[in-house]
Chain A
Amino acid sequence: MASTQDRLRTLVAENLEVDGKPVEVPADLNVSLSDAGVPSMDFVAFAKVIVREFDVPLTPDECADFSTLKDLAAYIDSQAA
């Protein structure tokens, strides 16, 4: 089964773009969606995708509090533990 980081990377690729181009996510996920320039509309919808895909409690505000996608992946894993 794919790791949480891999699934998260796939979800970003499938759901998010900036200026018509895929969001660039480094291998270590050490980037924030804010720094990537993801618009708020897509950000809110993406937080709901995370809730549905991983079955974790997460509001868009809480999602925004994570400094990086790596931190978000760690939170998802902690909820599954």
Chain B
Amino acid sequence: MLRSSAAGCWWRPFAEVAEAAVFLIDLAPHGQHEAEALEWLSGEERARSRRFVRAGPRRRFALCRAALRAVLCHRLGCDSQQLTFGTSSHGKPFAEVDETPEPISFNVSHGRSHGLIAVAARGRLGVDIEERRARDDLEDLTDALLGPNEKREFALLRGNARTHYFFRMWTLKEALIKALGLGFSQDPAEFEVPLAVRQGARTGTFRFPSRPRAVWRVDDLGTEDFAAALALETMAQPRQSSDG
């Protein structure tokens, strides 16, 4: 079983939402953690790590993937060597033990300094985390990524409130998109976060306008240090046709 040694783990339990457990990953530079993480990766994962041009993305990938391996191996009762990852047609990974797909559901996200892992026994889920920071291009990003009502609400805000609103909306949207599992074929500007959540509620329910049969629970997991969100599929009515 994977276990961080003298330096301790770089991930820890962060939240439990319904049947999902969320872990927070510390992505700060740390030579011992990075060396240990690389040892846990498969040859293919180490090769992926080396393709990153810069040290920051390389470190984040290794620390997140090693933490994911530890969390999944603990849940699945397997060794890291038994665990491999397949990929759906839209790029969403799934776990295999001894080359047999496992129904366990998981998702990973990282910002610059923090990462999140969400895991549940079954059901689709998605997670996102971003460090809030002032950006000169915040209005351009809002224009590209938010829906009409969200843009209007953003326009009424000033200063830090704009930054907080944008990153809150984006993490909620990306968590939903990742949970849906169809990649960015779902345009984030073509749906909006539920009104109650936009107005400050920490949790709400959501349906994609184009795929209304699936019902999602969405939770704001943000703290003072970062914006973050989790989306979970809660129920699905009997389907007459595929709705994703």
Judge whether B53 and A44 touch: CB under 8 Å: no
**Which listed residue, B53, B130, B137, B188, touches A37 by the CB 8 Å rule?**
B53
Q: Which of B35-54 contact A (CB under 8 A)?
A: 51-54
Judge whether B112 and A44 touch: CB under 8 Å: no
Instruction: Say whether A45 faces chain B, with CB atoms less than 8 Å apart.
Output: yes
Judge whether B170 and A41 touch: CB under 8 Å: yes
B108 nearest CB across to chain A (Å): 12
What per-residue 1/0 map shows which CB atoms of A48-67 lie under 8 Å from chain B? 11000000000111001000
Q: Chain A residue with minimal CB distance to B112? A: A19
What per-residue 1/0 map shows which CB atoms of A28-48 lie under 8 Å from chain B? 000100011101111011011
Judge whether B90 and A61 touch: CB under 8 Å: yes
Interface of A is mostly: helix
Interface range, A side: 20 to 34
Chain B residue numbers with a CB within 8 Å of A19 are 54, 56-57, 112
Interface range, B side: 20 to 34
What per-residue 1/0 map shows which CB atoms of B108-138 lie under 8 Å from chain A? 0001100000000000000000100000010
Judge whether B140 and A37 touch: CB under 8 Å: no
Judge whether A24 and B53 touch: CB under 8 Å: yes
Of the candidates B52, B137, B141, B144, the one having the most CB atoms from chain A within 10 angstroms of its own CB is B144
**With the chains together, A35 CA to B57 CA distance in Å?**
8
Judge whether A36 and B54 touch: CB under 8 Å: yes
Judge whether B52 and A44 touch: CB under 8 Å: no
Q: Chain B residue with minimal CB distance to A19? A: B56
B193 nearest CB across to chain A (Å): 15
Q: Chain A residue with minimal CB distance to B183? A: A61
Chain B residue numbers with a CB within 8 Å of A31 are 53
Judge whether A18 and B145 touch: CB under 8 Å: no
B25 nearest CB across to chain A (Å): 16
**With the chains together, A1 CA to B29 CA distance in Å?**
44
**With the chains together, A60 CA to B183 CA distance in Å?**
9
Chain B residue numbers with a CB within 8 Å of A18 are 54, 56-57
B188 nearest CB across to chain A (Å): 7
Known: A44-B144, A61-B183. 7 other contacts (CB 8 A): A19-B56, A24-B53, A36-B52, A37-B56, A37-B57, A45-B141, A64-B184
Contacts from B to A (Cβ < 8 Å): 51-54, 56-57, 90-91, 111-112, 130, 137, 140-141, 144-145, 170, 174, 183-185, 187-188
28 pairs, A vs B, C-beta closer than 8 Å: A15-B137, A18-B54, A19-B54, A19-B56, A19-B112, A21-B54, A24-B53, A24-B54, A31-B53, A35-B52, A36-B52, A37-B52, A37-B53, A37-B56, A41-B170, A44-B145, A44-B184, A44-B188, A45-B140, A45-B141, A45-B144, A48-B144, A59-B185, A60-B184, A61-B184, A64-B91, A64-B183, A64-B184
